[in-house]
Structure 1
């Protein structure tokens, strides 16, 4: 799937670049990504081999219309659906955003926190990470209440986990070993 996702993402990137709509396409894809991540029904729908290709594509286009998605992303999803590849759409979105960030010399950092980060906290974290990484930072934040407190920061393949949940797990293991 990774190869398929990369090829489709590269094609979309080239079209968006050619039409000078990279930012608009990226915004549309981020919204679509949020919808997919926020709905287990939508994720199941995209992965289902039982749903007719045309019905699946038509339903996705209706979702995009309701979200007021731009024409290029609508046409892209139509082609993806027509080729029965909607199951790979989340990977395509990730690949597009990764490609865009790479071309712009940016690094996407995934941050999980127990509560939403304030704009000030996000800016301070981005500035700190920029000094460490040496590139412009885009923060993708996710709220995970089960962390209790602290942060989990992922930069590429590196991860720093300062969550209270992890500290409690370490303490539990240490007490069992004692």
Structure 2
């Protein structure tokens, strides 16, 4: 994560808090990331020297017309500063700030099958306490190679309680 993206995210978050639109901005940034991921040409166009900065800002205003004005202004500022390639990093950092302010954190849970809502709630409660958060916003990733159990990643923390990991540990013990 670049320091530039962090600074922009912190400024955007502060402004969103002041205007009480933290969730709305978060939703708009999710949409922005989807647009960039599904249309990588957009970033190429917005960083291309073939178009004027004013034209690029106009394109952003048109594409994200329904987004909150502070999101559009932030994107236009990134264009001005020739930092539009930081947009996804900014969105990611903003999510961390928003979750932290709400006493939650994002967690990726790897499992062999789709988790039920009850299982997600149980994991959120148990692992949230371990990292000092009230709740976790869980993204479930299906990974059959785990054989069973779950691996939970919250920021830099990884809790691995999978059958594959336990077998690997047993193998190391037996082989020496």
State TM-score, norm by structure 1: 0.71
Q: Which residue in the other structure is 1:28 paired with?
A: 28
Task: Assess, with a 3 A threshold, how the Cα gap between structure 1 residues 90 and 141 changes in structure 2: closer, same or farther.
Answer: same
Using the TM superposition, name which of 153-162 and 4-13 deviates more.
153-162
Q: Which residue in the other structure is 2:48 paired with?
A: 51
State the aligned residue count.
172
- What's the secondary structure of 1:162's corresponding residue? strand
1:157 maps to 2:156: yes
Task: Assess, with a 3 A threshold, how the Cα gap between structure 1 residues 88 and 108 changes in structure 2: closer, same or farther.
Answer: same
Q: Deviations 1:103-146 (Å, cap 9, x if unpaired)?
A: 33333323233444332222121112234334212324042445
Q: Which residue in the other structure is 1:14 paired with?
A: 14
- Whole-angstrom distance in 2 between the partners of 1:82 and 1:16: 21
Any gaps of 5 or more consecutive residues in structure 1? none
Task: Assess, with a 3 A threshold, how the Cα gap between structure 1 residues 2 and 141 changes in structure 2: closer, same or farther.
Answer: same
- Whole-angstrom distance in 2 between the partners of 1:130 and 1:14: 25
Q: Which residue in the other structure is 1:85 paired with?
A: 83
Q: Offset of 1:15 from its aligned partner?
A: 1.5
Q: Which residue in the other structure is 2:101 paired with?
A: 103
Any gaps of 5 or more consecutive residues in structure 2? none
Q: Offset of 1:25 from its aligned partner?
A: 0.9
Task: Assess, with a 3 A threshold, how the Cα gap between structure 1 residues 51 and 160 changes in structure 2: closer, same or farther.
Answer: same
Q: Deviations 1:26-51 (Å, cap 9, x if unpaired)?
A: 22223434555x54x52x75378963
Q: Offset of 1:23 from its aligned partner?
A: 1.6
- Whole-angstrom distance in 2 between the partners of 1:155 and 1:60: 33
Q: Which residue in the other structure is 1:128 paired with?
A: 126
Say whether the 8 Å CA contact 2:151–2:159 is kept in structure 1. Answer: yes
Say whether the 8 Å CA contact 2:46–2:56 is kept in structure 1. Answer: no
Task: Assess, with a 3 A threshold, how the Cα gap between structure 1 residues 96 and 111 changes in structure 2: closer, same or farther.
Answer: same
Q: Offset of 1:99 from its aligned partner?
A: 2.0
Task: Assess, with a 3 A threshold, how the Cα gap between structure 1 residues 34 and 45 changes in structure 2: closer, same or farther.
Answer: closer
Task: Assess, with a 3 A threshold, how the Cα gap between structure 1 residues 50 and 117 changes in structure 2: closer, same or farther.
Answer: same
Say whether the 8 Å CA contact 2:46–2:79 is kept in structure 1. Answer: no
